[in-house]
A and B are shown apart, each in its own frame.
Chain A
């Protein structure tokens, strides 16, 4: 039983965190002026006081805030995220429709950013005064400084007008595309621009981080040891330095996952990508509180899952992190044997 204790306590922590996310978001939204009924009435072109009061009562908006909160938490606990005021669908259905698109976008962008950024950083670290190194530094600075929506708009203009080889809007071709293979290719084709846009800013930060980390590692004593073994420079860099240089990169992936979601809101809006980000944007405009709350909730869940995965990867890559718990487990049988 005690073996599962760390996992259980982590789970309890995660649940506590989620509860805090729900409560805080709920209260934050209450602070905003206006409520959904105002918006709906506005779109209806006005209504009498009685109708408005009736609608408020219908949605439960006439109850005290804390009562509303208690009802909401209770419903979420049973998996009921309510009904969208605007889309007239259960929120959960709505979210589950949009979630895959966002996960696809965010993971693609993250993969591009980590792979391209790390490779660029490592190449430039091998010749810190070479042409590539300077080019990477300039590109990184530019990519890092440019706002993501601006990068998106520039790419949009480039590929809509000047060089139309990538679709600039949506996720699939409306006219359909024959067969499952065609469908996958179609989505991939649509994915290119949004993923690259979202990745740009992160490529910049990963290449800078990987470059600095690699330079530091290449100066370490154990790299000199590796060279003293007679290993070729290639094997020194990829066999001995790379894994050490990746440790800060992995840390950064975990930290940036949340920011990537924030970036997805802008990118999905610019490229009309049917994901959670655009849904968030739409539900903010419509004051669609149940939808917005559920989006925030699911983003929090995804970020927490990402952090757990980062933690696992971190343990895999750096034996110094996982070592303590492993040794404890190995040492355990001994006292048992002694008492027997």
Chain B
């Protein structure tokens, strides 16, 4: 199937006034309809920048400096803004991290959902209101008729995120980018939101790019995973493959850092291994190490890792890692 989104060798830079620093360096991804890709990594690794670059919403002073973002075959990166605006909110839409602040406080919920329908589908005010009501039902908000005229401050965090999802889904997009959609929510609400997203995806065959630092969320939601580190995509592959056989030392480190819960007999059988950590800190933008960017923190790094760019090594169907050691590890 033709991918709905294909990112090829994307480069994003930030202009500090003195120099242009690389924020994203050679990101490549592919996403097919109806599938979900999880993008994981620590804060500052470039996951959100990838999302914003795709939406054409990069902050001031940030710009795409190379590569392509093909959306249904058309390059978003080189598209004029007018044309991109017609897609935004329509064929591709975004769910933001902070439901508390991402909705306009002075407009009603119905207005904020209806607006995209009026804009992209040319509905009248009345029709848009009807569709907004349908959307509120679809995201399972109780008493949707009453909620239509509510303002965001009258809703709980979980409800607001449902409204955000309703806005994002209103025009039946081909691609939804969800940037940490549940980080600000209670754990119980997280599960509900994920279930809702999966259900709606099943109905519409929408592709989802899920940005998160939570491997649990990835395990629950994603078909494929891309692991980011310091502006590079260091490992990609099917979710089961990555979670069970992580090849890149950084991915392995992330797995060790994730607490696991064992119930019943397993909990009694042996004392649980101590929660791991990855030594050192993520290098800030502009101070990425040469050659392998993870080398200074990597337990396996040798001289070659510090002097030569690591190769992208295929490790099986659709599984690849950007590492000198990956192959040896995987088949050791």
| CB atoms of B90 and A230 under 8 A apart | yes
Q: Which of A297-340 contact B (CB under 8 A)?
A: 317-320, 323, 327
* A327 and B154 contact, Cβ closer than 8 Å, known pairs A229-B88, A230-B88: yes
Residue B153 lies at the interface, judged by CB distance under 8 Å to chain A: yes
Across the interface, A231 reaches (CB within 8 A) one of B55, B93, B101, B119, namely B119
A32 at the interface (CB under 8 A from B): no
| Contact of B57 with A227 in the complex, beta carbons under 8 Å | yes
In the bound complex, how far is the Cα of B164 from the Cα of A228, in angstroms?
11
Of A50-58, A218-226, A249-257, A270-278, the segment with at least 4 beta carbons within 8 Å of chain B is A218-226
B98 at the interface (CB under 8 A from A): yes
A9 at interface, CB cutoff 8 A: no
Interface string of B154-182 (1 = CB under 8 A from A): 10000000001001000000000000000
A221-B101, A221-B102, A320-B105 known; A228 and B154 CB under 8 Å?
Answer: no
Is B89 in contact with A240, judged by CB distance below 8 angstroms?
no
B167 cross-chain contacts in A, Cβ below 8 A: 225, 229
Q: CB of A232 within 8 A of chain B?
A: yes
CB closest chain-A residue, reference B91? A230
Size class of the contact patch on chain A: 20 to 34
Residue among B88, B89, B104 making CB contact with A222, cutoff 8 Å: B104
Give the dominant DSSP class at A's interface: helix
Contacts of B57 in A (CB 8 A): 224, 227-228
Q: Which residue of B lies closest to A229 (CB)?
A: B89
CB < 8 Å neighbour of B85 from A220, A221, A232, A243: A232
A230 to B104, CA, bound (A): 15
Cβ-defined contact, A244 with B153, below 8 A: no
Residues of A close to B151: CB separation below 8 A:
319-320, 323
Question: Is B116 in the interface zone, CB < 8 Å from A?
Answer: yes
Q: Is B115 an interface residue (CB 8 A)?
A: yes
> Which single member of B86, B94, B104, B106 contacts A228 (CB below 8 Å)?
B94
Which listed residue, A224, A230, A318, A320, touches B96 by the CB 8 Å rule? A224
CA distance A12 to B111 in the complex (A): 39
Contact, CB under 8 Å: B103 / A225: yes
Residues of B within 8 A of A232 (CB): 85
The residue of chain B having its C-beta at the shortest distance from the C-beta of A240 within the complex is: B104
Nearest A residue (CB) for B105? A320
* CB of A22 to closest CB in B, whole Å: 40
Q: For the complex, is B79 an interface residue (Cβ under 8 Å from A)? A: no
Q: Which residues of B contact A221 (CB under 8 A)?
A: 96, 98, 101-102
The complex places the Cα of A230 from the Cα of B93 at a distance, in Å, of 9
B138 within 8 A of A: no
- Tell me if A244 and B96 are in contact (CB < 8 A): no
Query: B29-65 CB contact bits vs A (8 Å, 1 = yes)?
Result: 0000000000000000000000000010100000000
Q: Which of A152-196 contact B (CB under 8 A)?
A: none
One digit per residue, 1 when the CB lies within 8 angstroms of any chain A CB and 0 when it does not, for chain B 86-127 equals 111110011010100111111100000001100110000000
> How near does chain B come to A127, taking the closest CB pair, in angstroms?
12
CB proximity of B91 to chain A, nearest CB, Å: 9
Among A225, A230, A243, contact of B102 (Cβ-Cβ < 8 Å): A225
Q: Is the CB of A319 within 8 A of B86?
A: no
- In contact, A230 and B116 (Cβ under 8 angstroms): yes
> Which residues of chain B (69-90) have a CB below 8 Å from chain A?
85-90
Would you give the shortest CB distance from B175 to chain A, in whole angstroms? 12
Given A244-B106, A318-B106; A230-B101 close (CB under 8 Å): no
Q: Are B120 and A220 in contact (CB under 8 A)?
A: no
A244 to B88, CA, bound (A): 23
Binary contact track A58-80/B, C-beta < 8 Å → 1, others 0: 00000000000000000000000
Once the chains bind, are A225 and B104 in contact (CB under 8 Å)? yes
Chain A residue with Cβ nearest B93: A228
Alpha-carbon distance A224/B60, docked complex (angstroms): 12
Contact B103 A230 (CB under 8 A): no
Contacting residues, chain A, for B94 (C-beta < 8 A): 228
List residues of chain B with CB within 8 A of the CB of A318: 105-106
A-B contact pairs, 16 of them (CB 8 A): A222-B105, A224-B96, A225-B164, A225-B167, A228-B55, A228-B94, A228-B96, A229-B93, A230-B90, A232-B85, A240-B104, A317-B106, A319-B106, A319-B151, A319-B153, A320-B105
Q: Closest 4 CB pairs between A and B?
A: A229-B89, A230-B89, A230-B88, A221-B101
Instruction: Using A229-B119, A244-B106 as known contacts, list a sample of 14 further A-B pairs with CB atoms less than 8 Å apart, ordered by residue number in A.
Output: A222-B101, A222-B103, A224-B57, A225-B164, A225-B167, A228-B57, A229-B93, A230-B87, A230-B119, A240-B104, A240-B107, A244-B104, A320-B153, A323-B151
Q: Which B positions have Cβ atoms within 8 angstroms of A?
A: 55, 57, 85-90, 93-94, 96, 98, 101-107, 115-116, 119-120, 151, 153-154, 164, 167
